[in-house]
């Protein structure tokens, strides 16, 4: 029937170990693992690329389905190493975890940067990591609650 059964070897530039199919090393490594999950652990890597070590790879998927990608695009959003963002200019929105670039801001929208070149607010909406909120406009609708607020 043409079936091949092997637990070790190689085929077409790919290496086969008992629970691992892989090719390349370092930045060229691509791997698929079916290793048994150790008792009490469910974060075993199943797919990874870009590093010989699954834990250090820029792309990986665990047995639980946890996806790690240090860059790329998903649903119109760009994945940066420290920021998730979409759009440009007036349509720009960013969620920021950087400790260097615009590091004091966690969220901003309406401009590519939360600040302008003269250190004034660039985006019409921004939230600093300390919780300070900057708004260019605020429209509040509704009635005061029973406490008068």
Summarize pLDDT for 44-77 with one digit per residue, the tens.
899 999 999 999 999 999 988 999 998 899 899 9
Structure pTM?
Answer: 0.66
Distances, alpha carbon 103 to alpha carbons 70, 98, 115, 120, 134, in Å: 18, 5, 11, 15, 16
Ranges 7-11, 12-16, 38-42, 57-61: which has the least confidence: 38-42
CB-facing half-sphere around the CA of 19: CA atoms within 13 A? 9
pLDDT digits (tens, 9 = 90+) for 102-140: 788 999 999 998 887 655 668 999 999 999 999 988 888
Residue 81 is predicted with a pLDDT of: 82
């Amino acid at each position: 029937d043409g079936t091949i059964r092997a637990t070790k070897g190689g085929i077409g530039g790919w290496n086969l170990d008992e629970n691992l199919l892989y090719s390349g090393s370092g930045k060229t490594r691509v791997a698929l693992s079916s290793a048994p999950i150790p008792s009490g652990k469910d974060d075993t890597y199943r797919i990874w690329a870009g590093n010989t070590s699954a834990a250090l790879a820029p792309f990986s998927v665990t047995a639980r389905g946890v996806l790690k990608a240090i860059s790329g695009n998903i649903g119109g959003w760009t994945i940066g190493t420290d920021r998730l963002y979409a759009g440009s200019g007036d349509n720009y929105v960013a969620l920021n975890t950087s400790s260097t670039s615009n590091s004091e801001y966690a969220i901003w929208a309406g401009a590519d940067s939360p600040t302008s070149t003269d250190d004034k607010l660039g985006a019409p909406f921004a939230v600093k990591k300390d919780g300070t909120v900057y708004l260019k406009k605020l429209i509040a609708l509704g009635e005061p609650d029973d406490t008068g607020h």
